[in-house]
Amino acid sequence: MSVAIRVIPCLDVDAGRVVKGVNFENLKDAGDPVELAKRYGAAGADELIFLDITASSSDRETTYEMVKRAADELFIPLTVGGGVRSVSDVDQLLRAGADKVGINTAGLDNPELISQAAAQFGDQCVVLSVDVRRATGCPSGFEATTHGGRNSSGRDALEWIIEAAQRGAGEVLLNSMDADGTKNGYDLALISAVRAVVDIPIIASGGAGKLTDFHPAVVAGADAVLAASVFHFNELSIQDVKSELRSNGNEVR
Give the CA radius of gyration of the chain: 16
What CATH number is associated with residue 81?
A: 3.20.20.70
Predicted TM-score (pTM) of the model is: 0.93
pLDDT at 150: 79
Query: Per-residue pLDDT tens for 128-147?
Result: 999 999 999 999 999 999 87
How far is Cα 187 from Cα 204, in angstroms, rounded to an integer?
8
Decide if 252 is inside a domain: no
Decide if 108 is inside a domain: yes
Split into its structural domains, the chain has a count of 1
Give the pLDDT band of residue 123 (cuts 50, 70, 90).
Answer: very high
Do residues 133 and 143 touch, judged by C-beta distance below 8 A?
yes
Decide if 23 is inside a domain: yes
Decide if 188 is inside a domain: yes
Decide if 96 is inside a domain: yes
pLDDT at 170: 98
pLDDT at 43: 96
pLDDT at 64: 84
pLDDT average, residue stretch 237-252: 98
Query: Structural domain of residue 242, as residue ranges?
Result: 4-246
Query: Per-residue pLDDT tens for 158-188?
Result: 999 999 999 999 999 999 999 987 899 999 9
Annotated catalytic residue, options 14, 131, 180, 187 = 131
Do residues 81 and 129 touch, judged by C-beta distance below 8 A?
yes
- Give strand pairing partners of 142: 134
Decide if 132 is inside a domain: yes
**DSSP assignment of the chain:** -PPPBEEEEEEEEETTEEEEEETTEEEEEEE-HHHHHHHHHHTT-S-EEEEETTTTTTT----HHHHHHHHHH-SS-EEEESS--SHHHHHHHHHHT-SEEEE-HHHHH-THHHHHHHHHH-GGGEEEEEEEEE-TTSTTSEEEEETTTTEEEEEEHHHHHHHHHHHT--EEEEEETTTTTT-S---HHHHHHHHTT--S-EEEES---SGGGHHHHHHHT-SEEEESHHHHTTSS-HHHHHHHHHHTT--B-
Do residues 176 and 184 touch, judged by C-beta distance below 8 A?
no
12 assigned to active site: yes
Query: Per-residue pLDDT tens for 60-73?
Result: 455 788 899 999 99
Decide if 137 is inside a domain: yes
Query: Per-residue pLDDT tens for 19-73?
Result: 866 555 566 777 788 898 999 999 999 999 998 876 654 544 557 888 999 999 9
pLDDT at 60: 47
131 assigned to active site: yes
Decide if 251 is inside a domain: no
